[in-house]
Structure 1
């Protein structure tokens, strides 16, 4: 397969991919998300709201982590705490996590200090480069130091640069899952060892051809499967396996706090700290599946869900009459109308917002009690969640019998990241048009394009099954593997089609995991990544039959015949 990949490369600049300028004619270059400006890259300000100085300093965080990784490899460090720290710091550079330059300044200082401590204790030294980098003392100085360390500088060869970017963005997604798992006590030194190895690549004195870089890509996908397995063990081991749960979308009279992001431990701590205070807790975005966990469900003031996906917060948050807490990521620039109500915790940051350290949510609770909350009960629709692998496989015999009897003709996994870019209504229309003898599995915030649609059931099995967060992709993989085992075939031979939407880097690493597992025929949209060169795309098409979405009618016809 890798040899076939190499056969596509005939020259240094044959692909025709647009290369960002590396002479700093503009203040930034970022193309790591699906909404990147003009489909090529953000050069003035990020579509996410990221300022040029933040973009540059984030590039410097990655560069600093390369030095720490070199030191960890040089000294043979196996400290899990250092591995978790590395994952956390890389996670901070993922889209919509942290926008606060002052906090990044602290992060860089901490990274370099840990690197130097390792080298001193190990009596080791590193050659000039990220292993000897000394951070400037000011933010302006850091911005100047970032020169030459952005994605534009990864390689002069379009295709090698493309693969290197895929790797770095995949590593950011891997770091996110590793951090989530580590928070719940689930760690594996092999995950951290790979982070060190992949971050150090290109600076470790090892000459790598395209073959080797592709190998790292596939290894990243394999290692991410382990990280997702650890996260699954942490979530289910701590809070129980999700069970099918009906979640209200209406409102309940009383004070209120809205929780966004992904982190189950943050939510659990908030539920404990708000017991008996007359405050109802609502989820937003990717927190919806939390309602299915038994250890979270037991809190009577854990009420319902408010709003849809992350990109709609400017429209939805002004109508929420309580405090809002962001965990992990998905924050947008808060509008003045609700900015005083927004709080962050963990790695999330926005300049000027109150940040809650060590899961002390006293400021959030105080603000919720000051605000009016909902003044009356307004019941609304309900939606179902909680169809993780345990729940689905618990009725696997019924599912298998329905397939054998012809009641279920096909399965669709329709999910991934949502976003504001036009074209995502495709996913709503696709699900609405799926035949009544098909089942739709979904996960991540892409579900909000259709999560409240009533599309019926098949013999008591809901046709729309919410597997969970993007963090629960492991569940979806295990469901597919279990079905393949039941039918004594490979996953690619199942009546199963993947129709995915992507936005940020967790989606990138999930794609790498699917590729590493050999899964083919994935439909991807709403647009293809700006950092994938034509030759790399050609490789993905030739080897995995990845294809862009077209129209729901055309794609359904192609899939079902």
Structure 2
């Protein structure tokens, strides 16, 4: 009998209820989903073992790696997941050797059976899912910071607490504060990653990025990991190979240290869900550094390379030594295009701009404030989040197109590919459309909103600011929880509401935060602007 799965952690889950067949919408097979559940259960057991035993940096690393591995579109490889489960078990036995064969087991260090969570009362399941998916997303941010040598004891400690809570028979009243605590700690985690990125690579500055691919050998780098990109740039220096970003790697062009490499040329392709079409027969290798990997098609399978937590059966994986020689060799073999290739964004634009981080925007805060006071800027929209393939996401393109000329659009994450090649002109000496960076750069938007609220002597909810967000995977979940922790209300969320949010939990969010599902651009703009 074929193994069946249950997974509802992403926005595209089947029927907006859950993937329950032989494979998920993302391409993950049922046996892989079962192993990811087993890994999560092992992590819960490891967290239990650490409740009364001393953890180490290795334990912290395993917790982050394990949670990151279970984020959507990261790992499709049963072999590497099994190896990770073994490592978690080995670490648990090392930390608590006395638990093996204990005559009076407490049960807290045993692997947790995830079916207990999936089959729990729907409200309990909903709150525990918010915690689990939230810490999975937060683990991705903490992992990127850790790679750069930045950690935080409060952030790391919370992963253990949250995992431990998942294994307890708690009530809604007990779980709800932990849900909001995910948002609180994630704010600290995003601040940590922002510090890690800017202190390592410099403060981002507005940068125009061409969509043209020059003739000759090249490599496409996708994902989120700036450090992997830096290492690749160093190893390809003076080798006649150009490097192009893809997807969430686009904001790398704004960092001074990375811009110093002249062979970091531009951006190839659009959002992650278009990769199977855009990578077909591409005359260059593609390096996947984090999530957003889709099942690999035969038309480009021979040129896909993975690194860090990303893994796919049959693909060459670059290990901890970070020797990108196989990628470089493949780039030289394929040779690239024989002439410059002119590509465009979804709306026909030939270039995009990025780099409007909080450092840049706040450096001209007086200019922004004056434009608001004079009436030149009537309203700010944060239109950002994850992109995806489900019909209805053209809402975000049309919304941005229909925003009045006296409004500013801030954007971040891969949802911007729906409209980031549009030329919306300027306002008050500033571009109307400003890309603030990757999904974790929601921290920049929060910093800007807080600064504007201080300048006008009001709360963030009193600002002429509306958040119109799209979500796909678990990093969007932890960012939403951060916004709720900050008390931000009136968020428009789409293209569909999370399947793991039960009616009672949804009612709580609507009553306390006035979260609204998106409707049409026309109706929502009228609701916002009057």
TM-score normalised by the chain length of structure 2:
0.95
Alignment of 1:31-50 (within 5 A): 31-44=8-21, 45-50=23-28
1-structure distance, mates of 2:438, 2:89: 34
Give me the whole-angstrom Cα distance separating, in 2, the residues matched to 1:129 and 1:99.
30
CA distance 1:252–1:193, shift in 2 (3 Å): same
Deviations 1:134-175 (A, max 9, x none): xxxxxxxxxxxx9x524x644532111111111111111111
Aligned residue in 2 for 1:65: 43
Query: In structure 1, how many angstroms separate the alpha carbons of the residues matched to 2:118 and 2:522?
Result: 40
**Are 1:377 and 2:340 matched, yes or no?**
yes
Match of 2:497 in 1: 528
User: Match for 2:396 among 421, 427, 430?
Assistant: 427
Question: Partners of 2:373 and 2:123 in 1: how far apart?
Answer: 45
Q: Distance in 1 between matches of 2:36 and 2:341?
A: 44
Mapped to 1, the partners of 2:289 and 2:465 lie a distance apart of: 33
Q: Could you tell me how far apart the structure 2 residues matched to 1:119 and 1:450 are?
A: 52
Whether contact under 8 Å (1:36, 1:46) holds in the other structure is yes
After TM superposition, list the pairs within 5 Å mapping 1:359-398 onto structure 2: 359-379=322-342, 381-398=350-367
Q: Aligned equivalents of 2:410 and 2:428: distance in 1?
A: 16
CA distance in 2, matches of 1:392, 1:113: 48
Offset, 1:377:
2.1
The question of whether the paired residues in 2 share the 8 Å contact of 1:64 and 1:130 is answered with no
Q: Over aligned residue pairs, what C-alpha RMSD do you find?
A: 1.8
Correspondent of 1:183 among 147, 158, 166: 147
| Alignment CA distance shift 1:202-1:504 (3 Å) | closer
- Distance in 1, Cα, partners of 2:107 & 2:304: 40
1:88 correspondence with 2:57: no
Partner of 2:206: 244
Between the aligned partners of 2:131 and 2:184, the Cα distance in structure 1 is: 13
Give per-residue Cα distances to partners, 1:434-472, cap 9 Å, x unaligned: 000000000000000001011111132000000000021
TM-superposed deviation, 1:74? 1.4
Which blocks of at least 5 consecutive residues in structure 1 are unaligned?
1-23, 134-145
Question: What is residue 133 of structure 2 aligned with on the other side?
Answer: 169
Contact 2:44 / 2:166 at 8 angstroms: preserved in 1?
no
Find the residue that maps to 1:440 and give its secondary structure.
Answer: strand
Q: C-alpha displacement at 1:120, in angstroms?
A: 2.6
Equivalent of 1:233, from 169, 179, 195? Answer: 195
Partner Cα distance (1:127, 1:197) in 2: 20
> Which residue of structure 1 aligns with residue 290 of structure 2?
328
* 2:247–2:272 contact (8 Å) kept in structure 1: yes
| Equivalences, count | 521
Quote the offset at 1:85 in angstroms. 2.2
Farther off after superposition, 194-203 or 263-272 = 194-203
Residue 171 of structure 2 is aligned to residue 194 of structure 1: no
Q: Which residue number corresponds to residue 142 of structure 1?
A: none
2:18 corresponds to 1:54: no
TM-score with structure 1 length normalisation? 0.90
Task: Tell me the equivalent position of 2:301.
Answer: 339
Contact 1:87 1:179 in 2 (8 A): yes
* 2:442 corresponding residue in structure 1: 473
Q: Residue 479 and residue 124 in structure 1: after superposition, are their counterparts in 2 closer, same or farther (change >3 A)?
A: farther
Match of 2:75 among 98, 101, 110: 98
The CA distance in 1 between the partners of 2:512 and 2:253, in whole Å, is: 39
Match of 2:417 in 1: 448
Query: How far 1:186 moved relative to its partner?
Result: 1.1
Q: Which residue of 1 aligns with 2:114?
A: 149
Supply the distance in 2 between the matched residues of 1:331 and 1:97 (Cα, whole angstroms): 6
Partner of 2:220: 258
Within the candidate set 432, 448, 461, 1:492 is matched to: 461
Report the 3-state secondary structure (helix = DSSP H, G, I; strand = E; otherwise coil) of the residue aligned with 1:318. coil
Alpha-carbon contact 1:26-1:43 (below 8 Å) kept: no
Distance 2:332 2:398 in 1: 41
Contact 1:431 1:440 (8 Å CA) reproduced: yes
CA distance in 2: counterparts of 1:189 and 1:547, whole angstroms: 35
Give structure 2 stretches of 5+ with no counterpart.
344-349
Indicate if the aligned counterparts of 1:523 and 1:549 stay in contact, CA closer than 8 A. yes
Deviation at 1:203, TM superposition (A): 3.4
Q: Aligned residue for 1:550?
A: 519
2:247–2:414 Cα contact (<8 Å) kept: yes
**SS of aligned partner of 2:436:** strand
State how far apart, in whole Å, the 1-side matches of 2:138 and 2:68 are: 8
Runs of 4+ aligned structure 1 residues displaced above 6 Å come to 121-126
> Following the alignment from structure 2 to structure 1, what is the Cα–Cα distance between the partners of residues 276 and 391?
17
Q: Which residue does 1:11 correspond to in 2?
A: none
Change (3 A) 1:346 1:542: same
